[in-house]
Structures are given as structure tokens and as C-alpha cells.
Chain A
Amino acid sequence: MLQEESDLSLIIAQIVQKLKGSNLYSQLERQAWASLQRPEIKLESLKEDIKEFFKISGWEKKLQNAVYSELSVFPLPSHPAAPPEHLKEPLVYMRKAQGSWEKRILKSLNSMCTELSIPLARKRPVGEQKELLNKWNEMGTDEPDLSLFRPVYAPKDFLEVLINLRNPNYENGDSLSFRTHLGLIQVPLKVKDIPELKECFVELGLNTGQLGIDDSTQVPPELFENEHVRIGQKVLAEQDSAAAQQYIRQGSPTALRAELWALILNISSEPEDVLYYEQLKTNVIQHDLLVDSLIYKDVKLTASNDDYYFVFEDYLYQVLLCFSRDTSVLSHFAYNSASPPKSYIRGKLGLEEYAVFYPPNGVIPFHGFSMYVAPLCFLYHEPSKLYQIFREMYVRFFFRLHSISSHPSGIVSLCLLFETLLQTYLPQLFYHLREIGAQPLRISFKWMVRAFSGYLATDQLLLLWDRILGYNSLEILAVLAAAVFAFRAVNLMEVTSLAAAEAVLADLSTLKVMPLLQIFLFATVT
């Protein structure tokens, strides 16, 4: 009891500390001072009256949302004596693996840099700055020669690293048993099984209405949809983050989605945010970074060729180029097992005073990175809002998909969850695929790393991401991957090679996500 209380007070203290530095705090202060003018605020009961004022004017709600936001992002409380690395990642072997992976990426980046004799960063001459400013809204045209650039790494390179992860303290014994894990991931992390997932995702059950299922034409809208939309509008009117998060577990109506996501992520477009984005834009204009070319190349290779997202190509540059310069992103490394790469000013290698984070936001893009932003373009067409939403989605969810950690939403756990679900509930399929040299993870890895962006039809993808926000977890990606395999099991049982298995699973654009998830979790005999 005492331990819980002290944990709680520790969390409260940390959140208060965090919020004290935020814009909201100064706004609340200003509001409190201004409220002294009001007749209902009396000196004798100053504290209660101001609190009452905050409640009525909606400021208490904003504070509640901010606290809820911090709680969602904040890692679980750890031992007060634990060093900060533990917050990033408690397991030593994982930290080591992440460290060596980072070294490899940085080496690859530096060697590309040396080969092409391009500096990591340079200041643009004034003429070039003017040109870029003019071209800001159409950077997709007139691209520079990118043929010599290659992506720093692709998801399959990262998969190889994960496959080789081992816990040095874990001895499995040589004998095979039914417990032996036959998949590619060989680390002993705890993952949920179907009964636990059913409990976790209870709102996806057969008896609960869902958007993505109960809004199809065969179902009269009076049964579920109309009421759901009405509740959604009410949630938005109340501006309550926690309620929105609960609501969106059943899916979001298309017209309300943009606002609901902003509410859940606690994004409000204040003038300061727009100014901050403009400042980032200025940074892009003034300096050219090597990663800019990587971003360009990535967009050209992925989103520009995508049937759904090619229209938004220019927005992607506007968001991603600014993202690389945003140093506020560095704060998420406190709970990310990854660390931002450090680079040294020319000639001062090893001297800490001359170390800078490169790129400024510490995130090196890989092949497919731009696909995290692309679906958001369907919801937000104002660049600074789009930018804020993407940044928040990244520091809450997406970073976990390409760093090595033991977190339940981390990519390692997702892979393990996927393989375990398949091995436990579709053993025949799993065994068959393994025999023909088509380990299922080799096919589904790329889906999960991209959170299915570019593989599903956009409306289905948005329904899936609704649930990611609603449950504040990425586990649903692994469940969906397993559900897709279950759905195409009959065809997969007949293939005899990895290439054929890839072909069966090449096109996911006709899949309906919610029925697949519902059947897999709630309607399959286990």
C-alpha cells in the first residue's frame, strides 16, 4: 500500500514537473490572474473559486487532457534507484543490441557521406535559399539527382538483427518440446495469448458495434451507426481526451476522425505551434542536410508510386524535412531504447563539446519511413497541424517499430506475438510454411514495421489506426498479421515456396480489417 502511494506521488511529481515547463501552465497562470477580475472570485475562498472557474470555463478539462496525455506516454514506474537507461530499456542485452545496430547505421551513413563527398550538413547559399522558398509547395518536381543515394537500411536488414537477438542468461536446453518456439525470434519475452487478447480488446467483441463492420450497407444505420456518430459528436463537444480514447475503440466516423485524433493526441493548434513549424521551415531553407536526400529518395520510391498517396507527395516533403530539424523530438529518447546518433564537428572527433546530434531530431529515416506520414494527409491538409499530429504519433507509437526493446508494443514483442499466435492457433499452417522455407515472419515483418501503411486500403488502415490510438498499443498489428494468415490459410497450405507464399499475400488492398480481427479473436474455435 505504502509502495503504491509512493509510486503514485512519484508519478504525480514527475508529471507536474513536466507540465510546469509547458505552454498550458503559463496559459493557466494567465487565466487565473485574469479571473481575479471576476465577481464570483472572492478573497476568502480564493482557491476553491478559481478551481470552480477552471471547471466551468473548460480549462480543467484541458489540464485533465494534458495529464492523461502524459500518463499515456509515460513509462511504468520503476524503482527509484534505477538509472535512466532502465527507463529507456530495462534489459541489458537489448540495450547492447540496439547500441550495436545504431553503430552500424551510423557507419553506413558516414561511409555514404564519404563516398559521395557530401557533407552531413551545409549552409545553403542565398540564391538556393530563395529558390527553395519559391518551390516550397512543389518540391516533388524538379528533383535532384538521387541515383547515388541508397536508403540507410530497409526493414529486412533490421529483421536480420532481430533474428540474431539472444538473451545470454537464458538456457533453453537442447531437447525440443511443445514449448519450443519454432519461429525466427528467439528471445523469451512475455506475449499475450488469445484469451488475454480477448480481455484486452473486449470492445472488438461480437456483441459490440464496430465501425468497419456494423456500418456496411446491409446493416440499417439506426441499429448502431447513427447512435455512434451522435456519441462521437458529444465526446468532441466535451473535449475529453480519455472519453475520446475509449470511444474510438469502436472506430471513428470519417467526418469526426481528424478532430478525434487531435483530441486523443492532445494537439491543439495554437499560434505558437504554427510559429514553431514556420521556424522549422526556416531551418530547412537555410541548411541542407544529407538526410534530406534520403527523405527525397524514400518519398520518390514509396509514396510517389502509391495509388492512394501520390497526390500528397509535396506535403510529405514539407513534414519530413521539418521533422528532421525538430530538436523537441529528442525528448522522446528518454523512453526510447534508441539513442540519437552523435556527430562531431570536422576535425574535433571525440571532443564532447563539439558533438551534435545528427540529424537534429536524432531519427535516421529508413526505406518506407515516409509511409508513416502519408495516411495522415487524408485527414489534415494544413501543414502545421499535419506536422504536429505526425510528430505526436511518432513519439508515441511509431518509434517502437524500429528500435530494439522489450516493451510489449516494441517490434520485437510484436514479432514474437505474431509467431506465437500462428504457432499456437494455426500449427499446421505454421509448420507447413516453415518446411517450405517460408517463415511467416519474413512476409509479415514489413507490414508491422510500417503499421500496414501502403498495404491496406486507406479507409481500412484508418480504422486500424483508430484502434491503435484507442488501446494505446501496437499489439493489434501483430494480431492483424496473424488474422491475415488465418484468412488466406487455405491458399497458403498449397504453396511450395517462399515466392509463392509472398504472392498469395502480396495484395492486401481488398481486405476488411475489422471482420478479420473479430473472427480471429472471437469467432475461432481455440
Chain B
Amino acid sequence: MWALPVVLHQCLWIMAGKVKWVTDIEKSVLINNFEKRGWVQVTENEDWNFYWFVSQSNKEAYVISLYINNPLLIGGRKFDLRLYVLVSTYRPLRCYMYKLGFCRFCTVKYTPSTSELDNMFVHLTNVAIQKHGDDYNHIHGGKWTVSNLRLYLESTRGKEVTSKLFDEIHWIIVQSLKAVAPVMNNDKHCFECYGYDIIIDDKLKPWLIEVNASPSLTSSTANDRILKYNLINDTLNIAVPNGEIPDCKWNKSPPKEVLGNYEILYDEELAQGDGADRELRSRQGQSQGPRAGRSRDSGRAVLTTWK
């Protein structure tokens, strides 16, 4: 599935390599336009910002998502989050979140003005694109750690809204995995590491942009190389603990010590096991290094809807 960025009031759509811009268009008119081109709307989900179309002629499916034109800006610049999630089994769902994700900043200040609409350096946060900007810096690569983001948000917006934001991000990830769990190939010899791209809007609401099945493991800076090295190391430690190919009857539940910088995001077996939500998540602090998970009081409404 590809996700196509679509701007509501100033529109852009990419279709088979063609880029088309339409300005000041209503959502209904836009959807109408798509339908005129032989795409049928299958479903939409406003909470998730997705609109699913199927092409009548060749039965290809397209997912269109609305462009978030009010992103949260830090230092006046747009950024998105890259988070790594490891799934060792889908049924039952067992997934781990890597604690050391990062934010990718644009090199140019964000402006929603139409004159800069096609300036990639303002709108697109991919490192592959930003690398070619005039102001790209090879030392930090425009990347911030997620713990920096957390420190900044807690200091300027407060702890409650920041914790809520990160809880929502976790929720998004788990829900998206649960959604695809029934159709995923659940081979016990397989594991998969995903790169989640998430953007935060100025109301501190996170939106899922896309999930990358083969996230880039090349590095753009020294810190990046260390992060990706550790990522691969920790991933393999969980998939293949102790460096030995495990017995086929193994239930894929690795010992806590090998988690490294991963923390358990959701463990379906545990969650259903004693009827209460026993999901362990350690607090996202700034210090690096492995941390034992800490059980939370289920005081949050979000947790109880996870089953």
C-alpha cells in the first residue's frame, strides 16, 4: 500500500509518477475528482487520516491521506518521528518498541504559504531529500533524539500532555499492528522490524504517516551509526537469543536481559493471561541504557481499550 500525501485546501496528488496540484478544494470535491478518474472510495477513516480508493480499471488500491498542514513546529521547523518497532509474532501479538527513536527536522523554516508549497525542504522531512539542502549539516544530520523531544515538550507544555502524546503514539502502533495481524503470515521462523513515521500536529495529536517494512539502516551521522548498530544488535538478540537458532517449539518469549534498548510494547498473551492489562512499559526518560520495565497503574482509559 502506498500512502499519498494530499493537502486539503491546496492539493497535491501523486499518481503513477504524475504530480497534480489543485488549490482551494473541498474534501468532497476532491473525492469526487478521484471518483471521476475511475477510483472508487472503499472506506475512510478520519481519525486515522486515511481514505482508501480502488481503481476500477486495474483494481489497484490507493490509500490517500490528508496533508497535515498544522504540524508542531520546534525552532520554527517541521519534523517527524521515526520509531522502530519489532514484531516477533502476530498471533499472539508480541511487539517491542525501540526506545531510541529520532526526530527528523527540515532545514528550512516551515511556512504554509502557497508560494513555498513545492519547496521540498520546507515540507518533506525525509533525510534522503533534506540531505541535498543548502543548510544540511553533516554533524547532527538534522536529527534529534526522542528523549530530547520529550524533555522539550515536558519543559514547555507540561508532563500530562506529553505523557498523553506518547501514550497515544503507543496506542497508534499497537492498533495498527492488531489491524494487520489477521492477514499477516505468522511463520514462527519470522520476525519483522518496522520503521514507523509519525507526525505531531500543533494540538499535540500524533498522526500515523506510514509504516515502512524495510526501514533504512544506512547512517547519516556518527550518532546515527551507533543507533542503527545497536538497533540491529538488539533486534537479533530478541529474535535469536544467545546467538543460537531456537527450538521450533520456543514460544518466542525472550528473557528480559536481552531486550537491550527495546521495551515490550504489547504482549497479547500476557494481556489476556490474567484478564487485566499487564502490559509493561518503562518510562521514556532521557538517560540511555537498558531499563527494567515498570508496571503502571491502569488509571488510563486508553489501556483498557487495548484488548
Q: What is the interface of chain A, defined by CB distance below 8 A to chain B?
A: 137-138, 140-141, 216-218, 253-255, 257-258, 304-308, 310-315, 377-381, 457-460, 462, 510, 512
Q: How far is the CA of A462 from the CA of B156 in the complex (A)?
A: 14
Using A217-B282, A310-B140, A512-B287 as known contacts, say yes or no to A378 and B294 having CB atoms under 8 A apart: no
**Contact indicator per residue, chain B 148-169, by CB within 8 Å of chain A (1) or not (0):** 1001101110110000000000
B76 interface residue (CB < 8 Å to A): yes
Chain A neighbourhood of B105, CB < 8 A? 311
Chain A neighbourhood of B292, CB < 8 A? 217-218
Chain B neighbourhood of A512, CB < 8 A? 287
With CB as the reference atom, state the residue of chain A lying closest to B221: A307
Chain A neighbourhood of B155, CB < 8 A? 254-255, 257-258, 378-379
Task: Report the minimum CB–CB distance from B297 to chain A (whole Å).
Answer: 11
Using A218-B292, A311-B144 as known contacts, say yes or no to A138 and B76 having CB atoms under 8 A apart: yes
B291 interface residue (CB < 8 Å to A): yes
Task: Report the minimum CB–CB distance from B105 to chain A (whole Å).
Answer: 6
Given A255-B154, A306-B140, 8 new contacts (CB under 8 A): A254-B154, A255-B155, A255-B159, A307-B144, A307-B145, A378-B156, A457-B286, A459-B286
Q: How far is the CA of A313 from the CA of B292 in the complex (A)?
A: 36
The answer to whether B140 and A305 touch across the interface, beta carbons within 8 angstroms, is yes
Q: How far is the CA of A255 from the CA of B160 in the complex (A)?
A: 9
Using A141-B135, A217-B285 as known contacts, say yes or no to A459 and B76 having CB atoms under 8 A apart: no
B223 interface residue (CB < 8 Å to A): yes
The answer to whether B159 and A308 touch across the interface, beta carbons within 8 angstroms, is no
**Contact indicator per residue, chain B 199-214, by CB within 8 Å of chain A (1) or not (0):** 0000000000000000
Chain A neighbourhood of B156, CB < 8 A? 258, 378-381
Tell which of B75, B289, B291 touches A313, judged by Cβ atoms closer than 8 Å.
Answer: B75
Task: Report the minimum CB–CB distance from B157 to chain A (whole Å).
Answer: 8
Chain A neighbourhood of B159, CB < 8 A? 253-255
Q: Determine the main DSSP class of B at the interface with A.
A: loop
Tell which of B77, B223, B285 touches A311, judged by Cβ atoms closer than 8 Å.
Answer: B77
Chain B neighbourhood of A312, CB < 8 A? 75
Chosen A-B contacts, 19 in total, with CB atoms closer than 8 Å, are A137-B76, A141-B134, A217-B292, A217-B294, A218-B292, A258-B156, A304-B137, A305-B137, A307-B139, A307-B140, A307-B143, A311-B77, A311-B144, A313-B75, A314-B109, A378-B156, A458-B151, A458-B286, A460-B286
Tell which of B137, B142, B287, B288 touches A216, judged by Cβ atoms closer than 8 Å.
Answer: B287
Q: How far is the CA of A2 from the CA of B234 in the complex (A)?
A: 72
The answer to whether B223 and A307 touch across the interface, beta carbons within 8 angstroms, is yes
Chain B neighbourhood of A459, CB < 8 A? 147, 151, 286-287
Chain A neighbourhood of B144, CB < 8 A? 307-308, 311
Using A255-B159, A307-B223, A457-B286 as known contacts, say yes or no to A378 and B152 having CB atoms under 8 A apart: yes
Q: How far is the CA of A158 from the CA of B76 in the complex (A)?
A: 36
Chain A neighbourhood of B75, CB < 8 A? 311-315, 377
Chain B neighbourhood of A460, CB < 8 A? 286
Chain B neighbourhood of A137, CB < 8 A? 76, 109
With CB as the reference atom, state the residue of chain A lying closest to B145: A307
Q: How far is the CA of A216 from the CA of B143 in the complex (A)?
A: 26
